[in-house]
């Protein structure tokens, strides 16, 4: 049974302006351990060409260095909620970091492309566990009344890391070689494990918690097949019947899980939370925001490199302007939410994100490159604020035992949204290229307009968000 919903006519009590000292300490410990798994979603992509040459392997094979990581993360995410309940958050967190550490060391020592792909899967398992558990531990510590502020602490790094990943990857490749893309993780992971052992409180565990095996066999491979199929479309190549078959099989398995979960005594993910209007609005908003964000991560570097003739490093440095906007949005979003509520603040942030994308859609000549720079800052602020607030809204009136389910569901939204974003951008770009109707900056116009439209569409589920701040159940 779902807990009774509190009376919305009662205004939320005033919230403290800052997280308490215990939670701030936890934020430092968790982010220290999680920053590299967050970076790793994009940091290795810049090394794929180098790896192809080093191991004398086809690009289609080397691509599995990235794909294997993503699929392992997708398979692992659904297990995180059960593992947190069964073994306690601190123990699972340290296990996730240890797996990421072992995978990083092994990747750096890889002797051929096959061993590197296997070790990247180990890394992906650790990375897939880390983010849902991080969110669960933070919300449990801060309380749902402070969920937005707690998510602000991790939301900005979650936006910054994929943006900065290619820059760091390029610098490491140029200065130290491909192995250091993985070896750089080792000292930071070790420090994260030591900090967690000393400073994270012991989380309660339920040794009798049973694993939903049927749900696991439905949801994990379903997500993996869906993400795999979508990533194949995102690659822009024709893969015949295998791509739609993978997406179709993934959709069937996920649908099977949705039918099964309400009947399970301890479901892998409690899908009943989607019956709550506020959660559904937050989840859909997070899905679409991830689509827009990760789609732009693919589109913007290509735009600057092809239309403006920038080097990969130059393009990465310019795109870091989005990070400035996202960082600035953190404190502003919290203050605005306290004054005008979550829903209105998210709608305003979406307007910023769309406005920041418009200069790219309408086109700017070389004399107006500054306008694109301002657009990146504005876009980063809008996307950053929406990410922070929707992540926090996923915990609106969720009971304590449902926090892990909300974290897992939110991470699934991010994973699927990222895959869909690549599909949209790659498909629109491929259509423009095939038609031979566009060249240079004009080739990208349709893709940027699609991002504007999808950003505007996110306002529809955002209307379901809570009017006030995130409240306790």
With vertex at residue 209, the alpha carbon angle to CA 203 and CA 210, rounded to the nearest 5 degrees, is 145
Q: How many domains does the chain have?
A: 3
Instruction: Give the domain range for residue 437.
Output: 273-473
- Quote the tokens at residue 177: 């070689």
Taking the C-alpha atoms of residue 99 and residue 179, their distance in angstroms, rounded to an integer, is 18
Same domain, 368 and 415: yes
Q: Is 248 helix (H, G, I), strand (E, B) or coil?
A: helix
* Burial class of 216 by CB neighbour count within 10 A (0 to 12, 13 to 18, 19+): middle
Specify whether 106 is located in the same domain as 56.
yes
Asked whether residue 250 falls in the same domain as residue 384, the answer is no
Residue ranges with strand state E in 236-344: none
What confidence score (pLDDT) does residue 146 get? 67
User: Does some domain include residue 5?
Assistant: no
Rounded-to-integer distance, Cα 1 and Cα 82, Å? 19
Which among 61, 82, 450 is positioned nearest to 265, based on CA atoms? Answer: 82
Point out the residues of the chain with pLDDT beneath 50: 1-15, 436
What's the token pair of residue 419?
A: 């895959």
Q: Is residue 10 part of a domain?
A: no
Residue 14 domain-assigned (yes or no): no
pLDDT at 6: 35
Which pLDDT value is given to residue 324?
86
- pLDDT score of 471: 57
The answer on 197 and 143 residing in a single domain is yes
Question: 11 lies in a domain?
Answer: no
Q: Are residues 259 and 280 in the same domain?
A: no
End-of-domain residue from the set 242, 267, 292: 267
Packed helices 89-108 and 21-43: angle between N→C axes, nearest 10 degrees: 30
- pLDDT the model gives residue 363: 74
Q: Residues 126, 177: one domain?
A: yes
> Cα angle at 48 between 46 and 53, to 5 degrees?
125
Q: Is residue 178 part of a domain?
A: yes
- In order, the DSSP letters of 132-190 are HHHHHHHHHHH-GGGHHHHHHHHHHHHHHHHHHHHHHHHHHHHHT-TTHHHHTHHHHHH
pLDDT of residue 14: 45
Q: Tell me which residue of 140, 196, 119, 184 sits closest to 403, measured CA to CA.
A: 140
Are 236 and 288 contained in the same domain?
no
Place of tokens 């649908």: 255
Q: What is the DSSP letter of 365?
A: -
Pair (179, 37) in one structural domain? yes
Statement to judge: residues 255 and 380 lie in one domain: no
100: nearest Cα among 77, 80, 119, 84: 119
d(CA 289, CA 380): 12
């Amino acid at each position: 049974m779902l807990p009774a919903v509190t009376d919305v006519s009662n205004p939320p009590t005033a919230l403290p302006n800052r997280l308490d000292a215990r939670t701030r300490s936890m934020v430092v410990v968790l982010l220290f351990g999680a920053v590299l798994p967050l970076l790793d979603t994009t940091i290795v992509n810049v090394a794929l060409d180098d790896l192809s040459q080093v191991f004398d392997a086809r690009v289609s094979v080397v691509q599995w260095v990235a794909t294997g990581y993503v699929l392992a993360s997708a398979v692992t995410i659904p297990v995180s909620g059960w593992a947190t309940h069964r073994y306690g958050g601190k123990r699972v967190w340290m296990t996730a970091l240890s797996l990421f550490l072992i995978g990083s060391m092994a990747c750096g020592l890889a002797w051929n492309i096959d061993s590197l792909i296997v070790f990247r899967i180990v890394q992906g398992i650790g990375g897939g566990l880390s983010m849902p558990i991080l969110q669960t531990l933070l919300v449990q510590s801060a309380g749902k009344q402070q969920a937005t502020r707690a998510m602000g602490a991790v939301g900005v790094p979650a936006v910054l890391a994929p943006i900065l990943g290619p820059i760091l990857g390029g610098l490491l490749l140029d200065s130290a070689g491909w192995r250091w893309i993985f070896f750089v993780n080792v000292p930071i992971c070790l420090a994260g494990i030591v900090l967690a052992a000393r400073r994270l409180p012991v989380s309660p565990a339920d040794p009798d918690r049973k694993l939903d095996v049927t749900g696991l066999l439905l949801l994990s491979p379903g997500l993996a097949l869906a993400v795999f199929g979508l990533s194949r479309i995102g690659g822009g190549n024709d893969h015949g019947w295998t791509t739609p078959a993978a997406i179709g099989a993934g959709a069937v398995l996920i649908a099977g899980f949705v039918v099964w979960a309400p009947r399970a005594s301890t479901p892998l993910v409690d899908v009943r939370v989607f019956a709550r209007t506020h959660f559904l609005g937050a989840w859909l908003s997070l899905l679409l925001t991830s689509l827009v964000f990760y789609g732009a991560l693919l589109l913007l570097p290509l735009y600057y490199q092809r239309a403006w003739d920038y080097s990969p490093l130059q393009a990465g440095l310019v795109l870091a302007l989005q990070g400035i906007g996202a960082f600035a949005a953190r404190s502003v979003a919290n203050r605005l939410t306290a004054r005008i509520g979550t829903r209105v603040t998210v709608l305003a942030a979406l307007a910023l994100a769309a406005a920041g994308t418009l200069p790219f859609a309408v086109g700017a000549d070389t004399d107006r490159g500054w306008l694109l720079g301002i657009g990146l800052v504005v876009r980063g602020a809008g996307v950053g604020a929406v990410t922070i607030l929707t992540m926090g809204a996923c915990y609106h009136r969720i009971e304590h035992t449902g926090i892990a389910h909300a974290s897992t569901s939110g991470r699934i939204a991010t994973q699927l949204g990222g895959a869909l974003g690549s599909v949209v951008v790659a498909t629109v770009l491929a259509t423009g290229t095939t038609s031979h109707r566009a060249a240079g900056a004009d080739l990208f116009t349709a893709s940027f307009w699609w991002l504007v439209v999808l950003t505007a569409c996110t306002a529809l589920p955002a209307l379901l968000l809570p009017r006030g701040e995130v409240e306790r159940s």
